[in-house]
Chain A
Amino acid sequence: MKTTRRKFLQFAGVTAGASLLLGPKNTFSSVPPRNTSQQYAMLNDTTRCIGCQACERACAEKNCFPIPEMKPEIDTPRNTSTEALTVVNAYSTDNKGIVFNKTQCMHCDQPACVSACLVNAMYKTKEGPVIWREDKCMGCRYCMIACPYDVPKFEYGSLNPKIKKCIMCYDRLQESKIPACAEACPQEAILFGKRGELLDIAKKRIYDHPTKYVRHIYGEQEVGGTNMLYLAGVPFEQLGFRTDLGTIPYPEYTKTFLYSVPLALLLAPAFMLGLRQATKGKNDKD
Chain B
Amino acid sequence: MNTTDTSAPLYRRVGQDLWEFILAELKPKGKLLTPFNIISAPIILLGLVLIVFRFTKGLGAATNLSQEFPWGIWIGFDVVTGVAFAAGAYIVTFMVYVLRMEKYHSIVRATVLNGFLAYVFYAGALALDLGRPWKIINPIIGNSFGVSSVLFLVAWHFLLYMMAQFIEFSPAIAEWLGLRKLRKILGTLTIGAVVFGICLSMLHQSGLGALFLLAPAKIHPLWYTEYIPVLFIVSSVFAGMSIVIIEGTISHRVFRHQISAEHHAKHMDIMVGLSRLAAAALFVYFFMKILVLTHGMHWNELLTPMGYLYLVEVLGFVVLPFIIFVKGAKNRDRKLLLSAAIITALGIIFNRLNISVIAFKWYAPVHYMPSWIEIVVTLAVVFGEIWAFRWVANRMPVFMESPQWVKHLDREVEYPVPKGAVANINSKTAALQPVKIKK
**Which residues of A are at the interface with B, using a C-beta cutoff of 8 A?**
10, 14, 17-18, 21-22, 26-31, 79, 81, 112, 114-121, 136-142, 144-146, 148, 150, 153-161, 242, 244-246, 250-251, 253-254, 256-258, 261, 264-265, 268-269, 272-273, 275-276, 279-281, 283-286
**Contact: A22 with B153, CB < 8 Å?**
yes
Measured between alpha carbons, how far is A164 from B310 in the docked complex, in Å?
Answer: 35
The distance from the CB of B237 to the nearest CB of chain A, in whole angstroms, is: 16
A257-B150 contact, Cβ under 8 Å, with A119-B142, A161-B132: yes
B415: chain A residues within 8 A (beta carbon): 285
Measured between alpha carbons, how far is A119 from B148 in the docked complex, in Å?
Answer: 10
Using CB atoms, name the residue of chain A closest to B56. A159
A258: chain B residues within 8 A (beta carbon): 148, 150, 153
The distance from the CB of A20 to the nearest CB of chain B, in whole angstroms, is: 12
State which of A116, A121, A156, A160 has its C-beta within 8 Å of the C-beta of B144.
A121
B100 at the interface (CB under 8 A from A): yes
B207: chain A residues within 8 A (beta carbon): 257
**Contact: A157 with B198, CB < 8 Å?**
no
B146 at the interface (CB under 8 A from A): yes
**Contact: A31 with B216, CB < 8 Å?**
no
**Contact: B132 with A138, CB < 8 Å?**
yes
**Contact: A269 with B152, CB < 8 Å?**
no
The distance from the CB of B77 to the nearest CB of chain A, in whole angstroms, is: 16
**Contact: A254 with B150, CB < 8 Å?**
yes
A116: chain B residues within 8 A (beta carbon): 149-151, 214
The distance from the CB of B79 to the nearest CB of chain A, in whole angstroms, is: 11
**Contact: B67 with A254, CB < 8 Å?**
no
**Contact: A118 with B155, CB < 8 Å?**
yes
Measured between alpha carbons, how far is A155 from B65 in the docked complex, in Å?
Answer: 11
A31: chain B residues within 8 A (beta carbon): 148
**Contact: A81 with B217, CB < 8 Å?**
no
**Contact: B146 with A117, CB < 8 Å?**
yes
Using CB atoms, name the residue of chain A closest to B146. A118
The distance from the CB of A155 to the nearest CB of chain B, in whole angstroms, is: 8
**Contact: A138 with B138, CB < 8 Å?**
yes
Interface residues on B, range: 35 or more
State which of A112, A244, A273, A286 has its C-beta within 8 Å of the C-beta of B214.
A112
**Which residues of B are at the interface with A, using a C-beta cutoff of 8 A?**
55-61, 63, 65-68, 70-71, 94, 97-100, 129-133, 135-136, 138-139, 142, 144-153, 155-156, 160, 191-192, 195-196, 198-199, 202-203, 206-207, 210-218, 226, 229, 360, 414-415, 426, 432
Using CB atoms, name the residue of chain B closest to A81. B67
The distance from the CB of B63 to the nearest CB of chain A, in whole angstroms, is: 8
A279-B217 contact, Cβ under 8 Å, with A150-B67, A256-B226: no
A148-B146 contact, Cβ under 8 Å, with A140-B130, A261-B203: no
**Contact: B203 with A264, CB < 8 Å?**
yes
State which of A27, A79, A114, A253 has its C-beta within 8 Å of the C-beta of B153.
A27
B215: chain A residues within 8 A (beta carbon): 145-146
A141-B202 contact, Cβ under 8 Å, with A29-B148, A118-B146: no
A18-B196 contact, Cβ under 8 Å, with A81-B67, A118-B146, A156-B60: yes
B206: chain A residues within 8 A (beta carbon): 257
The distance from the CB of A165 to the nearest CB of chain B, in whole angstroms, is: 11
A244: chain B residues within 8 A (beta carbon): 217
A112: chain B residues within 8 A (beta carbon): 214
**Contact: B67 with A145, CB < 8 Å?**
no
**Contact: B97 with A276, CB < 8 Å?**
yes
A22: chain B residues within 8 A (beta carbon): 153, 156
Measured between alpha carbons, how far is A279 from B212 in the docked complex, in Å?
Answer: 37
**Contact: A150 with B68, CB < 8 Å?**
yes
**Contact: A279 with B196, CB < 8 Å?**
no
Measured between alpha carbons, how far is A115 from B149 in the docked complex, in Å?
Answer: 5
Q: Can you offer 28 A-B residue contacts whose CB atoms are under 8 A? A: A14-B192, A18-B196, A27-B147, A29-B147, A114-B148, A119-B145, A119-B146, A136-B135, A137-B132, A138-B132, A138-B136, A139-B132, A142-B211, A144-B70, A156-B66, A157-B60, A158-B58, A159-B56, A159-B57, A242-B217, A251-B148, A253-B214, A268-B198, A268-B199, A272-B198, A279-B100, A281-B100, A285-B415
The distance from the CB of B155 to the nearest CB of chain A, in whole angstroms, is: 6
A160: chain B residues within 8 A (beta carbon): 132
State which of B57, B71, B153 has its C-beta within 8 Å of the C-beta of A145.
B71
The distance from the CB of A6 to the nearest CB of chain B, in whole angstroms, is: 12
**Contact: A141 with B71, CB < 8 Å?**
yes
B151: chain A residues within 8 A (beta carbon): 116-118, 140, 142
**Contact: A139 with B195, CB < 8 Å?**
no
**Contact: A272 with B70, CB < 8 Å?**
no
Measured between alpha carbons, how far is A148 from B216 in the docked complex, in Å?
Answer: 8
The distance from the CB of A284 to the nearest CB of chain B, in whole angstroms, is: 7
Measured between alpha carbons, how far is A119 from B156 in the docked complex, in Å?
Answer: 12
B70: chain A residues within 8 A (beta carbon): 141, 144-145, 154
Measured between alpha carbons, how far is A18 from B216 in the docked complex, in Å?
Answer: 31
**Contact: B210 with A153, CB < 8 Å?**
no
**Contact: A253 with B213, CB < 8 Å?**
yes
Using CB atoms, name the residue of chain B closest to A143. B70
**Contact: A118 with B198, CB < 8 Å?**
no
Measured between alpha carbons, how far is A285 from B322 in the docked complex, in Å?
Answer: 38
Measured between alpha carbons, how far is A30 from B142 in the docked complex, in Å?
Answer: 19
**Contact: B214 with A250, CB < 8 Å?**
yes
Measured between alpha carbons, how far is A115 from B59 in the docked complex, in Å?
Answer: 25
B432: chain A residues within 8 A (beta carbon): 283
**Contact: B131 with A118, CB < 8 Å?**
no
Measured between alpha carbons, how far is A118 from B104 in the docked complex, in Å?
Answer: 38
Using CB atoms, name the residue of chain B closest to A117. B146
State which of B149, B191, B198, B426 has its C-beta within 8 Å of the C-beta of A117.
B149
A140: chain B residues within 8 A (beta carbon): 129-131, 151
B229: chain A residues within 8 A (beta carbon): 257
B58: chain A residues within 8 A (beta carbon): 156-159, 161
A144-B67 contact, Cβ under 8 Å, with A139-B133, A257-B150, A257-B206: yes
A269-B196 contact, Cβ under 8 Å, with A150-B68, A275-B98, A279-B98: yes
B97: chain A residues within 8 A (beta carbon): 276
Measured between alpha carbons, how far is A200 from B278 in the docked complex, in Å?
Answer: 60
A18-B199 contact, Cβ under 8 Å, with A116-B149, A280-B100: yes
The distance from the CB of A186 to the nearest CB of chain B, in whole angstroms, is: 30
**Contact: B214 with A261, CB < 8 Å?**
no
Measured between alpha carbons, how far is A161 from B136 in the docked complex, in Å?
Answer: 14
A139: chain B residues within 8 A (beta carbon): 130-133, 135
**Contact: B67 with A79, CB < 8 Å?**
yes
The distance from the CB of A251 to the nearest CB of chain B, in whole angstroms, is: 6
